[in-house]
Amino acid sequence: METGLKKMILQARNVTMVFPGTTALDDVTMEFESGKVNALVGKNGSGKSTLVKAINGSQPPTSGEILLDGEILRLETPTAAFDHGIMTVYQELSLVPGLTVAENILIGRYALKGGFINWKKTYAEAEKLLNSMGIDISPKQLVQNLSMWQCQMVEIAKAMSGNPKVILLDEPTSALAQHETQMLFSLVRELKKKDVIIIYITHRLQELWEIADNCAVLRDGKYAGKIEMESSTHKDLLDLMFGDVKIKTRSEDVVARQEKAMSVRGLTYEPAFRNVSFELKRGEVLGIAGMLGSGRTELLKAIFGTGDLHGGQIEIEGKVYRKTDPVRMKKAGLGLTPEDRKTEGLVQIHPVGYNLTNASLKRISSGVFMNAKAYIGSCMRQVNDLSIKITGVEVPVSSLSGGNQQKVVIGNWLNTVPRIMLFDEPSRGIDVGAKQQIFEIIWQLSREGISSVVVSSELEELLEICHRILIMRLGEIVQEVDPAGLEIDQLYSLCMGGSYS
């Protein structure tokens, strides 16, 4: 849609970024135009994050230039980028929970009167900005009381309060359910009407055809090309990103056995969920589909024992559990990869080896002393079996890509020799290639007779990897479906309360 505003161009010209032992960006030249949603994608390690840092001043390039409307910018600090009108909205929100929406939006720039904050004017300015962006949130509401998508909206409003010329949206939908994503898309479409250059970074490739006008691709630190979304297919994009990556589907040898691995009866944990019942077969990959707030994550955590159950029971290999805790459920053969791997699944400052053996210390220790041979054996078994790319087990886990970090979380629990794995958002924030590797790990566990329960916001993944899918809505299991022959729009409809014929 043409707005009549003058088009602005942000350009990276011959940008190269060299770090010890690696070239993260190699002579990259690309441009982004105002009035459009310019997507930027690339697998982990492609140089995508490094280019963002070059644009927002976090890491000046080794060589090359960033230009805005033909003017060469000297972006040696984030402050310099801010002064040139370049704002970044990161995946990890930077809001202060204990402050109001208005305070967060205008922090450090409050309206003053006589040396004191003019709260009436501050709230009025914030409300005017929110209204102009079509955001229906009270400026006086505390951020800690907002939902995740509302926080994301406020974060964008905060960036827009500085009248930016460029706004970078880094994985803005990674923690949002489908209906919340649609609300965010409405806001992004409003931004298109303003004289702003929007750079949209995401791993959720399927949403690009809905929100992006074009998509620039980085591959192995080089500019691979750009496609116009309207005239391109998924294959066009994947070919640019990966070339020879094949999208795998569940093979015929990945089958569920007849034996029962776990039975859940009447499980209740108010207010998150109630009266949940299902059975899990040995070697089965069972999906749980639902929108954010349906209770799916809380269900996995409750099964693993992170909260006291209010009712119901879990039966594993003939033993009934009416009370659960992580120690007891680990002994019962369960493992859980949490939704937030960075804060719940890993200790970021510790090395890969520690994170691979944290859940199995008793297995590799003699009394209070760790058995060095058993430690190295446990680490290297998972490094090799899961194809974790590292230079050594003593490197910090924080230095790994998202996909490799996720494999470390999985490897940590596989070292406990589990019989049932609970996967909560196993592919969040990782690229297509890494996702395929995670799926293959789940299928291999199935071949070995290990059962899996998988929760994913990207419902098409459940259709791809699962034997059965349970539909969870408003804290209850409302339906069971066979993924064979089920279309993605039908699954979304079921999760939102609709039906399919």
pLDDT at 453: 97
- Kindly state the average pLDDT of the residues 356-384: 86
SS (H, E, C) 143-177: HHHCCHHHHHHHHHHHHHCCCCCEEEEECCCCCCC
Amino acid at site 461? E
Peptide bond into 271 cis (omega under 30): yes
More confident residue, 327 or 184: 327
Contacts of 473 (CB under 8 A, 6+ apart): 290, 291, 294, 495, 496, 497
What integer pLDDT is reported at residue 500 of this predicted model? 57
**Count of CB atoms within 10 A of residue 280's CB?**
20
Beta pairing partners, 269: 273
Q: From 149, 147, 152, 154, select the one nearest 107 (Cα to Cα).
A: 154
* CA-only gyration radius of the chain, Å: 24
pLDDT of 28-42, one tens digit each?
999 999 999 999 998
Angle (CA) 343-344-349 rounded to 5° is 50
CA atoms within 13 A on the CB side of 22: 9
Domains of the chain in start order, with CATH, are 9-241 (3.40.50.300), 247-333+453-501 (3.40.50.300)
Instruction: For 20-57, give one letter per residue: b (16+ CB within 10 A) or e.
Output: eeebbbbebebebebbebbbbbbbbbbbbbbbbbbbbb
Q: Which strand (E) or helix (H) includes residue 277?
A: strand 273-281
Q: pLDDT band at 220, cuts 50/70/90?
A: confident
β-pairing, 214-219 vs 319-321, is unpaired
pLDDT category of residue 84 using cuts at 50, 70 and 90: very high
Please give the full DSSP string across 12-46, using - where no structure is assigned: EEEEEEEETTEEEEEEEEEEEETTSEEEEE--TTS
Neighbours of 94 (CB within 10 A): 11
Q: Please answer whether residues 201 and 149 qualify as being in contact, where contact means their C-beta atoms are separated by less than 8 angstroms.
A: no
Task: Band the pLDDT of 332: cuts 50, 70, 90.
Answer: very high
What is the C-alpha separation between 76 and 145, in angstroms, rounded?
37
The kind and range of the H/E element at 266 are strand 260-269
And the tokens for 146? 């907002």
What pLDDT digit, counting tens, does each position of 168-184 carry?
998 888 767 667 788 88
The neighbouring-strand residues paired with 319 are 316
Contact call for residues 303 and 328 (beta carbons, < 8 A): no
Mean pLDDT of the chain: 88
Cβ atoms < 10 Å from Cβ of 233: 11
pLDDT of residue 92: 63
Convert the pLDDT of each residue in 422-460 to its tens digit. 999 988 777 777 788 889 999 999 999 999 999 987 788
Distance CA 110, CA 121 (A): 9
Question: How far is Cα 399 from Cα 129, in angstroms, rounded to an integer?
Answer: 38
User: Residue 245: pLDDT above 70?
Assistant: no
Q: What percent of the chain has pLDDT over 90?
A: 49
Kindly indicate the confidence band of residue 252, based on its pLDDT and cuts at 50, 70 and 90. confident
